[in-house]
Structure 1
Amino acid sequence: MKKENIFKRMIKGFWHLSWWKKLLILAVIVAAAWAVKAYFFAAPPAPLFKTAEVKKGDIVDIVEASGPINPVNTTEVGALVSGEILKIYVDYNSQVKKGDLMAVIDQTQILASLAEAKARLSSAKESLSSAEVSYRLAKKNYERYSALYKKDYVSKVNLEEYELAFVNAKSNLNSAQAQVVQAQSNLETAEKDLSNTKIVSPIDGMVLTRKVSEGQTITAGFSTPELFVVAQDLTKMQIEAKVSEADIVKIQPGQTADFTLDGYMGETFHGTVRQVRTNYVDSSSS
């Protein structure tokens, strides 16, 4: 009875409330009923998977590697003579044509060698002319005394003297001829060295690297000093990538390859595996 009286008093009190308080209480009751329904009677969540039709296709195995990108065709331009770099006519990214002058080496020493070679050749030719005259005279005397000896007009001793003179004259002639050949060779070498003081581009292309400066002295020895690197065609590039031992067996020439460049973010380029080199590279030392 007590609970019923309390409930009746609540009902009676509710009807004595103002209309907006009644509306607020009804809204709270409806919201509570909706929350209870949503909690206990909500539909189960959808499964987190999708179904698809089974199809036959290729299995793709991706091998990732990195490396520098370089032109396919590059040419090193070196110096064949020693000396000081007097003038440089090209720099990084310079466009050059085959035969264009790239640098000049000091010619002072080589010009002196060239002048000396010319003088030695001139002297050798004069010596050769004198040796030829002596040879012709010695030959003529020897032939004449040989004929006289056969007729017993001269002694054998006289004949042997002219024979010895003829042999010596012939030897001197051979020596003079050899000296002319050597002097001519030295002159050609000096002329070639003079020509080599002008460093020219062997191909059409772009200068990628300049390794010398004006005033620098270079020495041409067993190895040719490298002065410039020229790329022939920048539309053809290649990447030399280091691949792990576990992945190298998966790569074959002719396979397709996609790559990206730091300077072209968001772009993907396509290429082909041209060569697989199986030599071991110790990456721990780098």
Structure 2
Amino acid sequence: MNDAIQDKNRVYENCPTAEEIKSTLEAGTRRRGWPVRIVAVTLLLAAAAAATVALKLGSSGAGSAYDTLQSERGDLTITVSATGTLQATTTVEVGAEVSGRILAVNVDANDRVSTGQILAVIDEEELRAAVDKESAQVAAAEAAIKLSQVTAHETQASFERVSLLKVKKVVSQEDLDTATAANDRAVANLAAATANATLATATLKSATSRLAKATIRSPIDGSVLSRLVEPGQTVTAGFQTPLMFKLAQDLKHMRLNVDVDEADVGRVREGMEASFTVEAYPERKFVSRVLSLHNEPTDSSNVVTYQAVLSVDNEDGLLRPGMTCTATIISETRRDALMVPNAALRFTPPSKQLKRGEKAVGQQETVPLRKVWMLTNDEPVAVELQTGSSDGNMTEILKGQLEPGTPLLVDMKEEA
């Protein structure tokens, strides 16, 4: 500021006085010479310009050399930002469990479906033949059981007669052994026939089940997200089930999966209010809430994130699965807080601008409090503050001699 005052004085010293200007004009009038008049006018213009410069120098002290922003009092909302994609609450992939040619496809993308509704039909010819074959096997097994039962009754009666005759010593021991063996074989054959019948029945059930699976039905109430087959196409069920349809249970209620950075995960909890935007509707904010925060981390290129699941109300049907969203989670709200701009906390005046005895932040060995700078008598003066939460633009002040509306230095003005 002293340099500015000295420059102003030098300008005033070099300016012509009023008496000098008057004398020059009178001399020019007596001589009635145009050159003298021109000189007089030039002197007048120079005096006016010098006065203007002097006034500017006089008004440009230290106070006008800084850009300022004011402290203020209000509500401070602390948020966490994260990106993710919209997903249906329940998504089901429907595939073919049997091989064959597709005879009909009854639904298309975006169609509403209900549980049990037929989506497609696979050719049943070979499957029906398998059912008929297994049905015949069951009939044959049942007949074998009857035959074995008759044989068992016959051998049992023969065994009883031979046993009685042996008691009377009419037959030999060999005859008794033969009758006993025949009876045991008959009992074993009956058991085998019964087991074969059970196996044939199970095989028939399997064949019948495979026949039923040739008719592809919807497992849920919902909508068709995608159809991946066409009539006439052949599907082969092997180690991997051929995918035919993708269904979503209810698109009126969806979920938003977002990746929360590990630096912010400590500020996110279940039940917090949130909002999100999508590129399709950039002017609209959709209300949401945090449903869960997963414990399993995701590491991508050495960046660790945790997945948070947010609720989504899609009653108007504007949102679609797969949309990219930018979510804002409200982690904290400070009511009626005294706040200062973050730019004021970052700014430190040049050392030559500081008042004698004042030190810039960074020149001290320890800084227990943070500093902002204000002007007192056109000189930068530091104010120590205890800071709290920040939203990235404003920071809460917990302790310090500062009033709302105080202009705080945030930058040096660029010289013109």
Q: CA shift at 1:8, angstroms?
A: 4.1
Matches within 5 A, 1:187-206: 187-206=204-223
Change (3 A) 1:59 1:67: closer
Q: CA shift at 1:218, angstroms?
A: 2.7
Distance in 2 between the 1:281 and 1:191 partners? 45
Number of residue-to-residue matches in the alignment: 269
Equivalent of 1:126, from 143, 167, 187? Answer: 143
Distance in 2 between the 1:203 and 1:256 partners? 31
Equivalent of 1:261, from 264, 267, 278? Answer: 278
Gaps of 5+ in 1: 13-30
Q: CA shift at 1:36, angstroms?
A: 8.3
Give the partner amino acid of 2:29.
F
Length-normalised TM-score, structure 2: 0.57
Question: Does residue 114 of structure 2 align to residue 97 of structure 1?
Answer: yes
Give the partner amino acid of 2:215.
K
Per the alignment, in what secondary structure is the counterpart of residue 276 of structure 1?
Answer: strand
Matches within 5 A, 1:185-264: 185-264=202-281
Distance in 2 between the 1:196 and 1:85 partners? 12
Residue 164 of structure 2 corresponds to which residue in structure 1? 147
Give the partner amino acid of 1:119.
A
Residue 28 of structure 2 corresponds to which residue in structure 1? 6
Q: CA shift at 1:32, angstroms?
A: 11
Per the alignment, in what secondary structure is the counterpart of residue 104 of structure 1?
Answer: strand
Equivalent of 1:158, from 171, 175, 179? Answer: 175
Q: CA shift at 1:114, angstroms?
A: 1.0
Q: CA shift at 1:74, angstroms?
A: 2.1
Per the alignment, in what secondary structure is the counterpart of residue 70 of structure 1?
Answer: strand
Q: CA shift at 1:5, angstroms?
A: 4.3
Q: CA shift at 1:58, angstroms?
A: 5.2
What's the CA shift string for 1:121-167, capped at 9, x where partnerless? 12212222111111111111111211222222221111111111111
Q: CA shift at 1:49, angstroms?
A: 4.4
Residue 272 of structure 1 corresponds to which residue in structure 2? 289
What's the CA shift string for 1:62-90, capped at 9, x where partnerless? 33222210111222323222222222111
Change (3 A) 1:241 1:7: same
Deviates more, 1:236-245 or 1:154-163: 236-245
Change (3 A) 1:254 1:169: same
Deviates more, 1:192-201 or 1:77-86: 77-86
Deviates more, 1:211-220 or 1:124-133: 211-220
Distance in 1 between the 2:46 and 2:283 partners? 53
Residue 37 of structure 2 corresponds to which residue in structure 1? none
Gaps of 5+ in 2: 1-22, 35-44, 303-416
Residue 23 of structure 1 corresponds to which residue in structure 2? none
Residue 74 of structure 1 corresponds to which residue in structure 2? 91
Matches within 5 A, 1:30-45: none
Distance in 1 between the 2:81 and 2:267 partners? 11
Length-normalised TM-score, structure 1: 0.80
More strand by share: 2
Q: CA shift at 1:223, angstroms?
A: 4.7
Distance in 2 between the 1:65 and 1:135 partners? 79
Per the alignment, in what secondary structure is the counterpart of residue 66 of structure 1?
Answer: strand
Per the alignment, in what secondary structure is the counterpart of residue 245 of structure 2?
Answer: strand
Query: Among the aligned pairs, what percent are the same residue?
Result: 34
Q: CA shift at 1:59, angstroms?
A: 5.5
Change (3 A) 1:167 1:277: same
Matches within 5 A, 1:40-51: 49=68, 51=70
Residue 171 of structure 1 corresponds to which residue in structure 2? 188
Per the alignment, in what secondary structure is the counterpart of residue 281 of structure 1?
Answer: strand
Distance in 1 between the 2:220 and 2:77 partners? 45
Deviates more, 1:34-43 or 1:230-239: 34-43
Change (3 A) 1:10 1:248: farther
Change (3 A) 1:224 1:165: same
Pick 1 or 2: higher relative contact order, CA cutoff 8 A, min separation 6: 1
More helix by share: 1
RMSD of Structure 2 on Structure 1 (CA): 3.4
